[in-house]
Amino acid sequence: MLTYVGKGYTSGFVENYDRVAARLNAGEEDIELVDGPDDICTGLLCESHAHCFNEGVVQRDEAARLSVSTLLNETLAPGKRLRARPDFLAKMRLAFAAGDIRQACRGCQWIRLCDRIAASGFAGVKIGERLQTTAKPATHCSNHPMLRPKDGWFGRKL
């Protein structure tokens, strides 16, 4: 959600996610934690082998819940509602960019895209706004492997 820029599994998935993003941005609803597939997954659930039910996805969801619970210093459980306010999203994006809530990213097919979005200061995100930070020279960029863009800071393959 922090790195959603309009890319996804299928055009139907993207159209649905764009609707969810618009509702969140309009303040029409909160983020509600659920156990299992959510409103974002709706477009994929009709597939014969919907990956939303795979054990790896379940494990990544749990890792995300635990790391965000730690960051917020509260136990997050299904039914918990979070408001997608600018200050909340900024806190989450800063933690994401720092690698503090990236445990769930391991094994995800979208990790390289999310790495690039985080490295860009979250340019082009569709939920909330990009981080308002001052640009740092490339020599000060993090060397954390989860934060480096796929092609390296200087366009070289890693």
**Residues 2, 93 contacting (CB under 8 angstroms):** yes
- What's the chain's length in residues? 158
Digit-coded pLDDT (tens) for 95-148 = 999 999 999 998 888 999 999 999 999 999 999 988 875 444 333 344 444 444
* Cβ atoms within 10 Å, residue 4: 23
User: What is the value of pTM for the model shown?
Assistant: 0.77
Please state, in angstroms and rounded to a whole number, the distance separating the CA atoms of residues 149 and 101: 17
pLDDT score, position 139: 37
Side-chain-side CA neighbours of 71 within 13 Å: the count stands at 21
Mean pLDDT, the chain, as a whole number? 82
| pLDDT reported for residue 48 | 62
Task: Pick the more confident residue, 15 or 144.
Answer: 15
Confidence of residue 42 (pLDDT cuts 50, 70, 90): confident
Give the Cβ contact number of residue 44 at 10 Å.
19
